[in-house]
Amino acid sequence: MSDTSEPCEQTRLIHAGRRSETGKGRGFNPPVERLSTVLFDSLAELRHASAGGDDGRALVYGAQGTSTTYALEDWITALEGAYRTRLYPTGLAAVAQMFQAFLRPGQHVLITDSVYGPVRGLVREFLEPFGIQCEFYAADGHDIERRIRPETRMIYAEVPGSLLYEMCDLPALSRLCKERGILLAVDNSWGSGLIYKPLALGADISLMALTKYVAGHSDVMMGSVSTTEAHWPALARMSRATGNTVSPDDAYLVLRGGRTLAPRLALHASQALQIAQWLESRPEVARVLHPALPSDPGHTLWQRDCLGSNGLVSFEFKDKDEAQLARFIDTLRLFGLGYSWGGFESLVSVVERQGTRSVTSLKDRGPMVRLHVGLEALDDLIVDLDAGFAALR
């Protein structure tokens, strides 16, 4: 490798978000800087910082950021290929702040039918009561053009979709948006900034639940919103106005987890694909959904647009008996029953088929389960799943 070669992303994630000062010695990771009040030596310094001096990164008050949170913002910005990034207490809080920053009463937003479930609550409790018109479109995007109105301000995508991992053609969606002056925002939690690049594919805004793979250890909550340069000011103004902030201790944990994102995600993906292939061979299984599988409906788009996969796999039982869900899940010992995903451990949850879709229905499908394949030994995970299937007999 020549001295002028750019390092690959796995290397960049190890070294990004670090202070550039030189000296006799310094910590590899930025220190945790806890503060509320910031002291200034003069009124001129205070006014300069308060007016947004130093590119808005001057320390002014703890709610506006510290060196620790700025380091994580820089790291996420590098990961997403963005102009700038802001952090929020949870992934859902990041979605809410993004809507708040870019949507106004009377405007119309199109939201993917495969959206993360709690966003539907956000629509019901926040957007619609404040006069923002919301409409859902098919997860693969085939019906989106006919749903666009003169007042459509934003299209909100999640690629792949929650639970069933539907792919949509994001570059085509971007062209459609740019022709009409519509914002394109994407929930990139599945892609974790590493294996899917919405901004490079034409999106204006990319959001992530950092709680998932970036943090990676099931012990911290956080979300991020990253934008192109043109759309940064609106997000920055609204974030400042609402006082959204995150704990520097949590920011440190997320940054520490992010250092090992690439190798962790590679192992999650490898093991999930092998389990998905094993599930396809099971007589109890009607359908396996995982975009890296050649049989998955979104596989071709996944091959074109994604740089890898992750540990999420969903499958549908062939038998329509709902009682088998409890028999299967309650037998498992390594796949813990709980919400979320993206940590080092394996998890199982039920794919609820009622109340999760507006455009398409899942009611005609058999019972469905979502697995998050963790970092335990693959053979042990297969033994655990095999015991779950044995309980059905």
Q: Is residue 1 part of a domain?
A: no
Domain boundary among 228, 243, 258: 258
- Same domain, yes or no: 250 and 269: no
> Which amino acid makes up residue 107?
Q
* Contact predicate 290/276, CB 8 Å: yes
Q: How many domains does the chain have?
A: 2
What is the predicted pLDDT for the residue at 29?
A: 77
> Which amino acid makes up residue 122?
L
Q: Over the stretch 145-159, which tens digit does the pLDDT of each residue have?
A: 999 999 999 999 999
Q: Over the stretch 148-201, which tens digit does the pLDDT of each residue have?
A: 999 999 999 999 999 999 999 999 999 999 999 999 999 999 999 999 999 999
Domain CATH code at residue 296? 3.90.1150.10
Element spanning 300, H or E: helix 299-305
Q: Is residue 51 part of a domain?
A: yes
Cα–Cα nearest to 191, from 310, 279, 272: 310
What is the predicted pLDDT for the residue at 2?
A: 43
What number of other Cβ atoms are within 10 A of residue 77's Cβ?
A: 19
Mean pLDDT of the chain: 93
Q: Is residue 4 part of a domain?
A: no
Model confidence at 222: pLDDT above 50: yes
Q: Over the stretch 337-390, which tens digit does the pLDDT of each residue have?
A: 999 999 999 999 999 887 778 888 777 889 999 999 999 999 999 999 999 999
What is the predicted pLDDT for the residue at 26?
A: 62
- Same domain, yes or no: 245 and 283: no
HEC secondary structure over 170-232: HHHHHHHHHHHCCEEEEECCCCCCCCCCCCCCCCCEEEEECCCCCCCCCCCCCEEEEECHHHH
Q: Is residue 111 part of a domain?
A: yes
Domain boundary among 258, 283, 308: 258
Q: Is residue 78 part of a domain?
A: yes
CA distance 169 to 151: 23
What is the predicted pLDDT for the residue at 148?
A: 98
* Contact predicate 66/57, CB 8 Å: no
* Contact predicate 238/289, CB 8 Å: no
Model confidence at 336: pLDDT above 70: yes
Domain boundary among 217, 240, 258: 258
- Same domain, yes or no: 208 and 315: no
Q: Is residue 164 part of a domain?
A: yes
Domain that holds residue 352: 261-390
Strand order in the sheet with 368-372: 285-289, 312-317, 368-372, 347-350, 336-337
Domain CATH code at residue 138? 3.40.640.10
- Same domain, yes or no: 154 and 229: yes
Report CA torsion sign: 336, 341, 344, 346. positive
Burial 239-269 (b: 16+ CB within 10 A, else e): bbeeebbbbbebbbbbbebbbebbebbbebb
- Same domain, yes or no: 224 and 305: no
- Same domain, yes or no: 224 and 267: no
* Contact predicate 138/144, CB 8 Å: yes
Sequence-ordered list of residues with C-beta below 8 angstroms from that of 276, at least 6 positions apart, any chain: 288, 290, 292, 293, 313
Model confidence at 127: pLDDT above 90: yes
* Contact predicate 315/279, CB 8 Å: yes
- Give percent of the chain above pLDDT 90: 80
- Same domain, yes or no: 40 and 187: yes
Q: Is residue 345 part of a domain?
A: yes
> Which amino acid makes up residue 121?
G
CA distance 283 to 376: 25
- Same domain, yes or no: 55 and 180: yes
3-class SS of residue 110:
strand
- Same domain, yes or no: 131 and 206: yes
- Same domain, yes or no: 303 and 358: yes
Main-chain dihedrals φ then ψ at residue 335, nearest 5 degrees: -85, 100
* Contact predicate 37/49, CB 8 Å: no
pLDDT confidence band for 13 (50 / 70 / 90) = confident
- Which tokens hold the place of 185? 């925002």
- Which tokens hold the place of 383? 């033994």
Looking up tokens 């913002």, which residue turns up? 73
- Same domain, yes or no: 251 and 380: no
- Same domain, yes or no: 294 and 382: yes
Sequence-ordered list of residues with C-beta below 8 angstroms from that of 24, at least 6 positions apart, any chain: none
* Contact predicate 389/282, CB 8 Å: yes
- Which tokens hold the place of 278? 């094993």
**Alpha-carbon torsion, ordered 47, 51, 54, 59, to 10 deg:** 70
* Contact predicate 127/134, CB 8 Å: yes
- Which tokens hold the place of 378? 């693959």
Q: Is residue 3 part of a domain?
A: no
- Which tokens hold the place of 279? 């599930």
